Structure formats: C-alpha cells, structure tokens
C-alpha cells in the first residue's frame, strides 16, 4: 500500500499549484500525493492557525510573494512561514520564490531555515522531484541560485551582516539615511558608521547612497 503524503500548497496562482501537483505525482518514491490548495493569505492564515490542522500536513509548498492580509499583518509568504513553524512544527516548509536577489534568498535561509528553497525560474520538473525526494528523506534542498548566493554572502558575512544588509535594502527602497533609525534599532551615528563600512567594502570612497545601491545591484545582492 502506498504511503500518502499530505501537502499544503499556498500560491495565488492556481495554474502554478496545478503544475506542482502533476509533477509531484511522478515522485521517485512512489508516494501517493494528497494536496490541499490555498490561493490567498487570508485563507492560509485561518488554516495555519486552526489547531485542528496542526498535524494535517507533511509538507507545505509556500510562495513567498502573496497578496497582503493587512488585518493580521501578513505581508508575504515569509510571515506565513513563521506561523507555520509555530502552529505546524512537524510540517516541512518548501519556500518558492521568483526573487533571485542574494540578500532576499540569504534572509529566507537564515530567518526561516526552510526544508527547501527554490527560485521559480531556476528549477525544472525534474529538479522539483529531486528536491521533494531529498526533503522527504529529511535533507535540506536549495536550488542552484540559492547555493551560489549563500556561498557568496557567507564569505562576506563579516562585512555584510544583518544590519548592513538591511541598511542597503532600505536605501534601495528610497529610504533616506536620516530615516533609517525609524526602521532599525540603531542610532543615527551607528547607521553612519555602518554606511562607511559598506562603502569601504564596495570600494566607494566618496559615493552617495545611490552609488551604494548601484554597486549592490551590480554585484547581484539586490
């Protein structure tokens, strides 16, 4: 008798979910796949936080980019992943994202530690099956873009720590230096000192915030 693997799929694109369902039915371990599809953050929140579903799913395929559910402060799939880890601790989380920026991928791995992280434009049907097989065996799977980003940023972690990465991301969003302390638990003087570190790392002597952002983009960090 085939083992049934119960999968929760959260994505606001029904066609993507249908594609994943078809592919996973060809899994190499011969599992029978039972899927539950959710297409918005509101419904996902209700299911994840409902105790009756706490042990219902073996795996959750979760899209990072989901419409906001403002009432519960759900801004993305990352917020849902945090809830999943709290309410469904035994469910393996596989994050799927269209973002290939190194900072975004690094942040997901460090903050959420998902069982799998795949960049949508980066994997084929065959790779999805390989990822699923490894994850079901208790291994962690990162697609190639994720691996490259992790290798690159881990070698630079001393210079581009969490605060420095957040400063660069805020600058890229058009946030002025004087307003960064409103977003981070840092003083204005500390922000200025960290910007000097960032400029030194990027070899920018007298550059502006725009130069920092430009160099970060050139290096594929944002």
Instruction: Give the DSSP per-residue string, 61-93.
Output: EEES----BGGGTB-SHHHHHHHHHHH-TTSEE
Is the distance from CB of 94 to CB of 65 less than 8 angstroms? no
In the chain, beta strands by DSSP E: 4-10, 32-38, 59-63, 92-97, 116-119, 141-142
What distance in Å separates the CA atoms of residue 212 and residue 210, rounded to the nearest whole number?
5
Q: Which residues pair with 38 in a beta bridge?
A: 10
Q: Is 6 helix (H, G, I), strand (E, B) or coil?
A: strand
pLDDT in tens, the chain (222 residues): 679 999 999 999 999 999 999 999 999 899 999 999 999 999 999 999 999 999 999 999 999 999 999 999 999 999 999 999 999 999 999 999 998 888 888 889 988 999 999 998 888 999 999 999 999 999 999 998 898 888 777 766 666 788 888 999 999 999 999 999 999 989 999 999 888 888 877 778 778 888 888 888 877 777
User: Which residues 6+ apart lie within 8 Å of 25 measured at CB?
Assistant: 33
pTM: 0.74
């Amino acid at each position: 008798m085939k083992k049934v693997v119960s999968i929760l799929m959260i994505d606001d694109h029904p066609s993507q979910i249908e594609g994943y369902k078809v592919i996973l039915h060809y899994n190499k371990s011969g599992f029978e796949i039972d899927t539950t599809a959710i297409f918005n953050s509101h419904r996902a929140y209700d299911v994840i936080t409902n105790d009756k579903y706490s042990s219902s799913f073996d795996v959750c395929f979760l899209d990072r980019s989901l419409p906001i559910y403002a009432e519960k402060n759900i801004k993305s799939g990352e917020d849902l992943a945090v809830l999943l880890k709290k309410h469904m601790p035994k469910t393996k989380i596989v994050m799927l994202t269209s973002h290939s920026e190194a900072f975004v991928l690094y942040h997901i791995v460090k903050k959420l530690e998902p069982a799998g992280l795949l960049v949508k434009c980066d994997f084929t049907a065959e790779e999805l099956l390989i990822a699923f097989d490894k994850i079901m065996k208790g291994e962690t799977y990162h697609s190639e873009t994720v691996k490259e980003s992790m290798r690159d940023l881990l070698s630079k972690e001393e210079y581009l720590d969490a605060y420095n990465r957040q400063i660069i991301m805020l600058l890229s969003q058009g946030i002025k230096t004087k307003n960064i302390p409103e977003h981070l638990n840092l003083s204005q003087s500390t922000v200025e000192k960290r910007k000097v570190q960032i400029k030194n790392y990027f070899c920018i002597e007298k550059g502006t915030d725009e130069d920092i952002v430009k160099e970060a983009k050139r290096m594929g960090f944002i």
